[in-house]
Amino acid sequence: MEFLPIRKARNLIRRKIIWIATAAAIILVTAICVSNPQYASPPPKSPSMAPPAQEACDIFSGDWIPDPEAPYYTNKTCWAIHDHQNCMKYGRPDSDFIKWRWKPDGCELPLFNPYQFLDIVRGKSLAFVGDSVARNQMQSIICLLSRVEYPIDMSPPTTDKHWKYVNYNFTMSYFWSPFLVRSGVRDDVGPTNIGLFNLYLDELDESWTDQIHGFDYLIINAGHWFNRNTVYYESRRVVGCRYCLLPNITDLPATYAYRRAFRTAFRALENFAGVTLMRTFAPAHFEGGEWNAGGDCVRRRPLWSNGTVLDGQTLDMHAAQLEEFRAAMGRGNRGVRVMDVTKMMLLRPDGHPSRYGHWAQEKVVLYNDCVHWCLPGPIDSWADILLHLLNMEARR
């Protein structure tokens, strides 16, 4: 039987050893953080890091306000930026376009906190499904999270991407599906030299619908590909087309296919156990001509909401999405939410790459890009909204 004084002495020694080891660990971690800013502690709270906006506030209506602290990464600190959106690398002469943040009317929307985001998605998975603007958004999030951790690329040799945040057991994926439904190339050239596609409006695109059932969060989008030359099929027969210039086929507006594609996508998600965010149409800002006829986006400041309204195709596409969303809810699909960025991005004609997605002297056929968004740039504010929506889901 151990004597009490001896037992106390041993316990005291153990406590001292634990204290010394803990102090050494703290010193080591502090040294790492000082020498590696990407591992630094979360920024102190400020008005922009206030508690999440109340659910009653419409975070999708507001204006862009100056943010002198932005950007929160640069094209030199983040390797995930696609060259065509790397505006500063390719000589964009102004930088004011990165000094704004989205401010909803009547409430505060906290700036994206990478630590809070990764804590919410710890042990979970998120997938983007859609076109290259979805990829643009994913790369924005990777850059914003780079202050905490860079992911490991787990991707197969396809257009799909899978990123693993090891320290948080979080997976972020991207599935290429610009029409959300089954499609195929009908003619490599087509009437405008960019190809003619077959679009099967009532058939699932199994390249993503067969892979998303294990995910916790899904962000779906589609948009500008619906302006391409396409032939529309329903029940395996031609019902019309978009600029196909084929005999005896009726030309239909892009919204015809857009509406039906979302209807089919929502049907695919009826048994999805996770949460789906439908990201709405992000407007292009071509002025002075169409994308292939000299159009460009040369503005250098945001617009104000009180003088800007949705109209034309942007209004029609946005309305079609929301109507199909409401119809899906009416059919009992309660796992879908709206991430309505259309109005806020309508105000940012200054945020596109324009000609600054490649070197000016390059002898390549590239049109001015007024569809995608510079990184860093306005699309980073989508992360503020995404974090707010995930916070709301955590409180449900």
- The 3-class SS string of the chain reads CCCHHHHHHHHHHHHHHHHHHHHHHHHHHHHHHHHCHHHCCCCCCCHHHCCCCCCCCCCCCEEEEECCCCCCCCCCCCCCCCHHHCCCCCCCCCCHHHCEEEEECCCCCCCCCHHHHHHHCCCCEEEEEECHHHHHHHHHHHHHHCCCCCCEECCCCCCCEEEEEHHHCEEEEEEECCCCEEEEEEECCCCCCCCEEEEEEEEECHHHHCCCCCCCEEEECCCHHHHCCEEEEECCEEEEEECCCCCCCCECCHHHHHHHHHHHHHHHCCCCCCEEEEECCCCCCCECCCCCCCCECCCCCCCCHHHCCCCHHHHHHHHHHHHHHHHHHHCCCCCEEEECCHHHHHCCCCCCCECCCCCCCCCCCCCCECCCCCCCCHHHHHHHHHHHHHHHHHHC
Length of the chain: 396
**Residue positions annotated with a catalytic role:** 132, 369, 372
Please tell me the predicted confidence (pLDDT) of residue 310. 95
Q: Are 371 and 81 in contact (CB under 8 A)?
A: no
Token pair of 275 as six digits:
């949460």
What is the average pLDDT across 230-249? 96
User: Quick check: 232 pLDDT over 70?
Assistant: yes
How far apart (Å, rounded) are the C-alpha atoms in residues 380 and 129? 18
Task: Report pLDDT for 2.
Answer: 42
pLDDT at position 126 is 98
Burial class (CB in 10 A: 0-12, 13-18, 19+), 308: middle
Identify which has the larger pLDDT, 2 or 200.
200
Distance (Å, rounded) from C-alpha 145 to C-alpha 164?
12
**Superfamily (CATH H level) for 48-395:** SGNH hydrolase (3.40.50.1110)
**Rounded mean pLDDT, 126-136:** 97
Mean of the per-residue pLDDT values for the chain? 87
Task: State mean pLDDT over 44-48.
Answer: 33
| Torsion angle defined by CA atoms of residues 160, 283, 280 and 154, in that order, rounded to the nearest 10 degrees | 20
Average pLDDT over residues 377-392: 97
* pLDDT score, position 111: 97
Cβ within 8 Å of residue 130, ≥6 positions away: 177, 178, 180, 219, 220, 221, 222, 223, 279
CA distances for 108 relative to 58, 288, 326, 381, angstroms: 11, 36, 27, 13
* β-pair type (217-220, 125-130): parallel
What average pLDDT does the segment 18-36 reach? 38
pLDDT in tens, 64-94: 999 999 999 999 999 999 999 999 999 999 9
Give the pLDDT confidence score for residue 364 in this predicted structure: 64
Q: Give residue-wise pLDDT tens across range 282-301.
A: 999 999 887 767 789 999 99
Question: What pLDDT, on a 0 to 100 scale, did the predictor assign at position 221?
Answer: 97
Q: State residue 22's pLDDT score.
A: 39
The pLDDT of residue 33? 35
Region 163-190: what's the mean pLDDT? 95
Q: Dihedral (C-alpha) 193, 198, 201, 205: value to the nearest 10 degrees?
A: -100
Task: Tell whether the model's pLDDT for residue 151 goes beyond 80.
Answer: yes
Q: Are 82 and 129 in contact (CB under 8 A)?
A: no
Q: Band of the pLDDT at 325, cuts 50, 70, 90?
A: very high
Lookup: tokens for 312: 């034309």
> CA 168 to CA 367: how far, in whole Å?
40
Check residue 361 and give its pLDDT: 66
